[in-house]
């Protein structure tokens, strides 16, 4: 019932359109009932009594009835379609807006394809449920009342006989509706899996081809596609069976009506006009009943879809602004992580983290994979919320400031280059689309991206493809750096920004990073330890704890975890007979 109430809440803002639709529904119901009512004077007065005046009058009346019925049906259909489509647009926007507020932890556990299915398929099913439900609950019952009135006016005894079968006609409506809700839930879950497979294989097409997994992916998709097909056919079977069953039950009632009503006409108790007027109303009566059955099927599918949508909408954003949150001024003194603990789904990730970073200081964070480096820096912009302790900027807890003012102070460049299927200009200006062309060009130059941009056919107006598919890895990374430069945030997070690049591309990117880091409070997660030797301070994380802290030379003398990581990395490089040339944060070249 809560779902029904929430769906009706979506309809309330469109009450004026619904009022127009209701007026039209009343018109359709009256005109539908008028048609069988006019059968009696047509047969008795025109064909039996041969009254010419009645012929002229009834011809005009019938013409007006059909005209009004056509106009009101059009008005009803247009008004209800408008309401339905507006509800879809509103619900889709509401769902998308809510997704933007949810934390990263939600997306970590929810596949992208499944969310896409919620925003597309499920929302459309809800639209059908809402618009058809209103139509079915208003127009068809009004039509039923009008036709029943005609039947009782013409012959109340026949009406009572036909009503004996009517309750049985509603049995398929309830039974099949429940079946369809269960089938719809399973079919939409299957469609969600199909969406996941599509998203994974299309976005990862390079890997699929590189590992020769085309046949495997085709078989995987085929299995889920067949599963979805079977659910659809179950749905079709239930839908296809409901109407014939109702017609069969209605046919039984009509047989009794013809036998009893025909006998009454033969005996002279009733006129042919009265009998055929009644029979016409009865035949028309079963059409709205069948529509109610179909409406119930659509409603049950929509309710199942609405449950999945509201499961997402009811997911708490978790991380959001406090009611009294303040605007965070630019960092002046320091960034601090004080007694920070972090658990992910009750699994401890970070423990007893205490770290102070002075304004303008460059801090390198190192450790083995899975040590908690990326998680640590993700706590600063509140991508995740600390479980205990606090993150402070100039002594202000980041939980007490608005997320907009916090994240406006933080620029991020990661190993994973996130670009959009848009122009070079719009990708660089993504953080602030109102930036001038001069500012965008200056950022591109500082990121060492200007030269390769100008070599493109349309320069800054070139479309770069999905995830920057038309660019090399180094070019994509430099666009991300240009985007961070344009944002001009005082705090900078570099999360293994060069680890996936070859030596030549890394040199270009490293130069751009030096421009980006100048004068900023910087936290660098480094995969290649040679790139952070001249950092102001190096923090070593192991098993979720800070185990060492100091400059490169100091840590090497300690012969601890950092020394072990450093020796292991360079010993591996010697064994592979490779010589790496990289640029450190001071711009010096290490070989």
* C-alpha separations of 389 from 345, 374, 392, 523, 578 in Å: 17, 18, 10, 20, 44
For residue 577, the model assigns a pLDDT of 30
pLDDT of residue 500: 55
User: Cα(238)–Cα(247) distance, rounded to whole angstroms?
Assistant: 15
For residue 398, what pLDDT band results from cuts at 50, 70 and 90?
A: very high
Average pLDDT value over all residues in the chain = 79
Q: What is the mean pLDDT of residues 95-116?
A: 82
Are the CB atoms for 429 and 484 separated by under 8 Å? no
Residues facing residue 340 across a β-bridge: 353
DSSP letter at 340? E
For residue 571, is pLDDT > 60?
no
Q: According to the model, what pLDDT value does residue 578 have?
A: 29
pLDDT(585) > 80: no
Q: pLDDT > 90: what percent of the chain?
A: 8
Distance CA 320, CA 503 (A): 41
> Does residue 568 contact residue 555 with C-beta atoms inside 8 Å?
no
Residue 432 confidence (pLDDT) above 70: yes
**What's the distance, CA 47 to chain centroid?**
63
d(CA 467, CA 206): 13
Quick one: pLDDT band at residue 341, thresholds 50, 70, 90?
very high
Q: How far is CA 243 from CA 231, 292, 297, 504, 586, in A?
A: 20, 10, 11, 70, 78
Q: Which of 263-267, 295-299, 308-312, 563-567 has the lowest mean pLDDT?
A: 295-299
Taking the C-alpha atoms of 37, 42, 44 and 45 in order, what is their torsion angle to the nearest 10 degrees?
120
- Six token digits for residue 326: 């303040």
Chain segment 261-291, per-residue pLDDT in tens: 777 778 777 778 777 787 778 777 777 777 7
The reported pLDDT for the residue numbered 589 is: 31
Condensed to tens digits (0 to 9), the pLDDT of residues 19-28 reads 888 888 888 8
CATH homologous superfamily of 329-409+534-591: P-loop containing nucleotide triphosphate hydrolases (3.40.50.300)
Among residues 526, 494, 517, 536, the alpha carbon closest in space to that of 446 is found at: 517
Q: Please, what is the Cα angle at 193 between 192 and 199, to 5 degrees?
A: 90
Higher pLDDT, 487 or 432: 487
pLDDT at 397: 92
pLDDT the model gives residue 497 = 65
- 522's CB contacts (< 8 A; 6+ apart) are 361, 362, 363, 491, 492, 493, 494
For the chain, give the number of residues.
591
Phi then psi for residue 523, to 5 deg, are: -115, 120
pLDDT cut 70: percent of the chain above it: 87
Summarised one tens digit per residue, pLDDT across range 39-62 is 888 777 777 777 778 778 888 888
**Residue 169 half-sphere exposure, CB side, CA atoms within 13 Å?**
26
What is residue 167's predicted lDDT score, i.e. its pLDDT? 63
State the pLDDT confidence band at 186, using cuts at 50, 70 and 90.
confident
Q: Which residue has the higher pLDDT, 492 or 502?
A: 492
> For the chain, what is the largest distance between any 2 Cα atoms, rounded to a whole number of angstroms?
120
**Average confidence (pLDDT) over 180-185:** 76
Task: Give 498's pLDDT tier (boundaries 50, 70, 90).
Answer: low
Is pLDDT at 573 greater than 60 in this prediction? Answer: no
Q: Around 153, how many Cα atoms within 13 Å sit in the side-chain half-sphere?
A: 16
Predicted confidence at residue 588, as pLDDT, reads 34
CA distances from 158 to 42, 250, 277 (A): 21, 14, 12
Q: Burial, 253: exposed, middle or buried (Cβ in 10 Å; 0-12, 13-18, 19+)?
A: buried
The predicted-structure confidence for 440-493, as pLDDT tens digits, reads as follows 888 888 888 888 889 888 888 888 887 777 888 788 888 888 888 888 889 988
Domain residue extents for the chain: 2-313, 329-409+534-591
Where helices occur in 342-433 by DSSP H, the ranges are: 373-378, 403-407, 424-428
**For domain 2-313, which architecture applies?**
Up-down Bundle (1.20)
Q: Please give the pLDDT value at position 412.
A: 85
Same fold, 2-313 and 329-409+534-591: no
pLDDT at 355: 92
Alpha helices (H) along 267-389 = 272-313, 373-378
Residue 581's pLDDT is 27
The residues pairing with 410 across neighbouring beta strands, listed in sequence order, are: 491
- Once rounded to an integer, what is the mean pLDDT over residues 347-373? 88
- Residues 147, 32: contact at Cβ < 8 Å? yes
Rounded mean pLDDT, 311-317: 85
């Amino acid at each position: 019932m809560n779902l029904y109430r929430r769906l009706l809440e979506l309809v309330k803002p469109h009450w004026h359109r619904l009022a127009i639709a209701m007026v039209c529904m009343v018109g359709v119901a009256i005109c539908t009932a008028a048609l069988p009512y006019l059968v009696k004077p047509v047969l008795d007065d025109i064909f039996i009594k041969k009254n010419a005046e009645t012929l002229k009058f009834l011809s005009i009346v019938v013409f007006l009835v059909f005209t009004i019925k056509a106009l009101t049906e059009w008005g009803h259909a247009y008004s209800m379609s408008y309401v339905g489509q507006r509800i879809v647009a509103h619900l889709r926007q509401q769902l998308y807006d809510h997704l933007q507020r949810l934390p990263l932890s939600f997306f970590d556990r929810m596949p992208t394809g499944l969310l896409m299915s919620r925003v597309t398929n499920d929302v459309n099913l809800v639209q059908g449920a809402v618009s058809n439900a209103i139509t079915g609950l208003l127009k068809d019952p009004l039509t039923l009342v009008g036709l029943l009135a005609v039947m009782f006016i013409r012959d109340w005894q026949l009406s009572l006989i036909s009503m004996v079968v009517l309750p049985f006609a509603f049995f398929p409506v309830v039974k099949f509706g429940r079946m369809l809700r269960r089938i719809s839930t399973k079919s939409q879950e299957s469609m969600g899996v199909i969406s996941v497979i599509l998203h994974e294989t299309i976005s990862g097409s390079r890997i699929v081809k590189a590992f020769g997994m085309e046949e495997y992916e085709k078989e995987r998709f085929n299995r889920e596609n067949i599963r979805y097909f079977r659910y659809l056919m179950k749905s079709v079977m239930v839908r296809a069976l409901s109407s014939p069953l109702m017609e069969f039950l209605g046919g039984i009632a009509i047989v009794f009506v013809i036998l009893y009503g025909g006998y009454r006409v033969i005996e002279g108790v009733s006129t042919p006009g009265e009998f055929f007027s009644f029979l016409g109303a009865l035949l028309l009566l079963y059409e709205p009943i069948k529509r109610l059955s179909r409406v119930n099927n659509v409603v049950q599918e929509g309710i199942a879809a609405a449950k999945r949508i509201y499961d997402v909408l009811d997911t708490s954003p978790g991380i959001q602004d406090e009611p009294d949150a303040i605007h965070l001024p630019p960092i002046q003194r320091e960034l601090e992580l004080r007694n920070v603990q972090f658990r992910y789904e009750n699994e401890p990730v970070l423990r007893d983290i205490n770290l102070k970073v002075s304004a303008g200081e460059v801090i390198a964070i190192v450790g083995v994979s899975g040590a908690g480096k990326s998680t640590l820096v993700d706590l600063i912009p509140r991508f995740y919320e600390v479980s205990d302790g606090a993150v402070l900027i100039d002594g202000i807890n980041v939980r007490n400031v608005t997320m907009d003012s916090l994240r406006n102070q933080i620029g991020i460049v990661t190993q994973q280059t996130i670009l959009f299927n848009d122009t070079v200009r719009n990708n660089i200006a993504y953080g602030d689309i109102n930036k001038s062309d001069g500012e965008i060009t200056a950022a591109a130059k500082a990121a060492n991206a200007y030269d390769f941009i100008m070599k493109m056919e349309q320069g800054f107006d070139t479309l770069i493809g999905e995830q920057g598919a038309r660019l090399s890895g180094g070019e994509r990374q430099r666009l991300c750096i240009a985007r961070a430069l344009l944002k001009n945030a005082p705090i900078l997070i570099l999360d293994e920004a060069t680890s996936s690049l070859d030596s030549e591309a890394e040199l270009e990117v490293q130069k751009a990073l030096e421009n980006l880091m100048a004068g900023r409070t910087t936290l660098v997660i480094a995969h290649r330890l040679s790139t952070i030797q001249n950092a102001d301070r190096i923090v070593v994380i192991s098993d979720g704890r800070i185990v060492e802290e100091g400059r490169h030379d100091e840590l090497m003398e300690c012969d601890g975890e950092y020394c072990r990581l450093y020796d292991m990395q360079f010993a591996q490089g010697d064994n592979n007979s490779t010589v790496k040339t990289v640029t450190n944060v001071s711009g010096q070249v290490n070989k």
